[in-house]
Structure 1
Amino acid sequence: MSNTRLEQFDKAVQLREDSTDLLIQIWKEYHLYSTLEFWIMVSILVVPLLILFFKIDKSKIFLIGFYGYSVHVILAYVDIYGMNAGYWHYPFQLLPSLPSLSVDASIVPVVCMLMYQWTLNHKKNYYLYAILTAGGFALVFKPLLVGLGLFKLYGKANYIYLFVGYVLILLTAKFMTNVFLWAQKRYGPSTKQY
């Protein structure tokens, strides 16, 4: 590998570090942790987790938890990509080094888990409700966050792209869950199937 290539890579890493340091400096300098917006983000993190604790079907907790974890991981990757590509960002964060924590780790996975649980328990069409859930996030929740100044879109990014992204995330999470259910049924010990 040439020295020029490594030098450019090191420069890119330094720029990313400088960018993160600047976000932390802004967070501290403007006391963002003392703003209403910060506390809204705290609520977006904590309240859904509390609701999930009481509402999750304990008899299917590992299945629903695996599905929710899949949503969380895929969403986190998509959010990192979107922020790094400059398509969107979160101006108010709980932790500047984890800007999408409230959305990626709580409200979206929790709502998706409860939707998945509901479709299982009521034998409803998952795909229909996944599309409706994606629409709720992309066309209602994200515009609300934009209106509150908690989310910003940049460049060509728009709500339709977000909708398609949410649909793909929910389809991928369902596919991953189904693959593991199939593997458990085929190779695992005999257990109750969902």
Structure 2
Amino acid sequence: MNYPSFDEVLQVRELLIGTVRSHWVNDNITSWKWWFLLLSATLPWLLWNHFRDRTRSIELLCYGLMWAVISIILDLIGVNAIFWGYPNKVLPMMLPFFPADLTVIPVTFMFVYQLSTNFTAYIISTVIAAGCFSFIIEPIFIKLKLLTLNNWNHAFSFVGFVLISFFIYGIVNLLKEH
């Protein structure tokens, strides 16, 4: 079997980058979807800055940073495995899921963490947030053509959100004890 050389891989990547830029210039930046993504990338942080518990800012940012890192890693895996995809992006050289992974998801769950007075409240709030993301927001994004699901379903997302949330909660609380 004749495998492609690294130079051939680079040529295909250059073609892909040119295609992505052309799509972004001709389809993304001129649409309402681009403005929506830009707003999604900025507004949650402005809200968080205004409503955060300033006495716990470092703890909340640690919690949110863990959400962001895990979200990016899992999104990279999911997109590359073609489980799902994002037709639009804020900038052509950025990850298309930047607004969700670095803004909407971490900020939402930082508010869940901040507002939960005990673990039971955290569980309930997490299940509600995970349900909203998985069974309301994802289907809306699919209808708006901001997200495509290929070999994935909303129940997988729901379980993922809940498990990640519990994992991060445990890590942050372990760090607080030491």
1:101 aligns with 2:107: no
RMSD: 2.1
Letter in 2 for 1:109: P
Letter in 1 for 2:81: A
Aligned mates of 1:151, 1:74 — CA distance in 2: 19
Q: Structure 2 unaligned runs (5+)?
A: none
Match in the other structure for 1:168? 163
Match in the other structure for 1:110? 107
* Residue correspondence of structure 1 range 68-87 to structure 2 within 5 A: 68-87=64-83
Give the alignment partner of residue 146 of structure 1, picking from 130, 135, 142. 142
Note the C-alpha offset of 1:19.
3.1
Larger Rg: 1
Give the alignment partner of residue 24 of structure 1, picking from 21, 24, 44. 21
Is contact 1:74–1:173 with CA below 8 Å preserved after alignment?
A: no
> TM-score, normalised on structure 1?
0.81
Aligned mates of 2:69, 2:108 — CA distance in 1: 15
Match in the other structure for 1:158? 153
Give the alignment partner of residue 133 of structure 2, picking from 133, 137, 161. 137
Note the C-alpha offset of 1:10.
6.3
Aligned mates of 1:140, 1:109 — CA distance in 2: 18
- Pairs aligned (count): 175
List, as ranges, runs of 4+ consecutive aligned residues in structure 1 with deviation greater than 6 Å: none
Is contact 1:75–1:169 with CA below 8 Å preserved after alignment?
A: no
> Residue 34 of structure 1: SS of its match in structure 2?
coil
Is contact 1:48–1:106 with CA below 8 Å preserved after alignment?
A: yes
Letter in 2 for 1:99: P
- CA deviations on 1:81-134 (whole Å, 9 max, x unpaired) are 111111111111102331101111111111100010001xx3352223212211
Give % identity: 27
Note the C-alpha offset of 1:15.
4.3
